[in-house]
Amino acid sequence: MKSPRSFDLVLLGATGFTGRLVAQYLATNAPRDAKIAIAGRNQEKLSAIAESLGRPFETLLVDVTKTESVRKMAESAKVVITTVGPYVLYGEPVVAACAAAGTDYVDLTGEPEFVDSMYVRYHELAQSTGARLIHACGFDSIPHDLGAQFAVEQLPVGEPMALKGFVTMDGTCSGGTAASALEAMHRMAKAKKARTERLALEPKLSGRTAEIVQGRPGKDADLGQWVIPMPTVDPQIVVASARALERYGPAFTYGHFLVTKTGFGTVGTLGALGALAGLAQIGPARRWLSNRVPPGTGPSEEKRAKSWFSVRFIGEAGGKRIETEVRGGDPGYNATAAMLSESALCLAFDDLPPTAGQQTTASAMGAMLRGRLQAAGITFSVISAT
């Protein structure tokens, strides 16, 4: 049994752009009797944020380079929320401390290398302590993970399933998001190595398969629009959920695509991604790109209010075809703050099936979290079923 904790939630990184949005969301939406602390390296900034929130949040001085401060934070909380990235550079001490303390953990990472390497190093320890380590609890990858699960639930039980997700969005990135994306591009070889190590360690499925279908750029026959495969962590998370949950059927495949609308848009997007990936390999160029959106900055409130996302799913199983959609507001920040916060609140306060180790939002929280997100304005709907 876990020891009593001083706090229900501790938010690490509250002085950053996304961290401030998460703190504001929790101040408005967490239960009034929830015990919450915000944590970071700068007491003056922490105090200023705490005073602005309209309800009492305690402050904790925590530096991820100081093992003892991270350990104390993890041991004080039921759930640790961290927005401190790039996670591959700054995230491991928090995961390690939570795994050792039996503390639930959520983050916003979209970095495949980090997700895989944390599984290799801490999944077994977290299983032994009862900690639930849940990565990618923002736009990466909740709409895709819970959206895929919602689509699967509309299909016949016990049948092979083929599912595709199609992303359309309008939004702007912050300095932290840009830094994480560039670091991930720079470390693609290391990400491949981490993936290989994880696959060698994961238990083999018995009588079931769950695989990513890479797909190709072009006009998708099912959607009727131009698309390109999305090189993100999302399909990895979806397939991890499929491996964990038998409801995904005996043979599950998933393809993940960005909608580009036109052939010219497809070519232009592919060219831009290729150029960005190439520049990310060059240190001075990577730093120059990162400085275009400085850390701690992000889109204005007005821009966030106009931003939106849609993820359309098309699935087939047992002769049935379904089309579903997840839709919400500003993907990178407003919606992400809600998704991360509700994930932490779900772990802290909801009656969930027992799980431990590295989990996904679908395998650990599923419909319970989906209900919370619906109440927060993120919709899950069936478009058609034939």
Read off the pLDDT of residues 1-23 as tens digits, 9 standing for 90 and up.
Answer: 466 899 999 999 999 999 999 99
Closest of 355, 285, 345 to residue 129, by C-alpha: 355
* Confidence class for position 170, pLDDT limits 50, 70, 90: confident
Residues 62-107 have pLDDT tens digits of 999 999 999 999 999 999 999 998 899 999 999 999 999 999 999 9
- Token couple for 331: 């993907």
Q: What is the mean pLDDT of residues 155-180?
A: 79
E runs forming strands in 198-351: 209-212, 218-219, 226-229, 251-259, 308-317, 320-329
- Token couple for 223: 């959607």
Distance of alpha carbon 167 from the chain centroid: 15
- Token couple for 161: 């399933």
Residues 315-352 have pLDDT tens digits of 999 999 999 999 999 987 899 999 999 999 999 999 99
- Token couple for 209: 């398969």
pTM: 0.89
Give the other-Cβ count within 10 Å of 348's Cβ.
21
Query: What is the residue type of 230?
Result: M
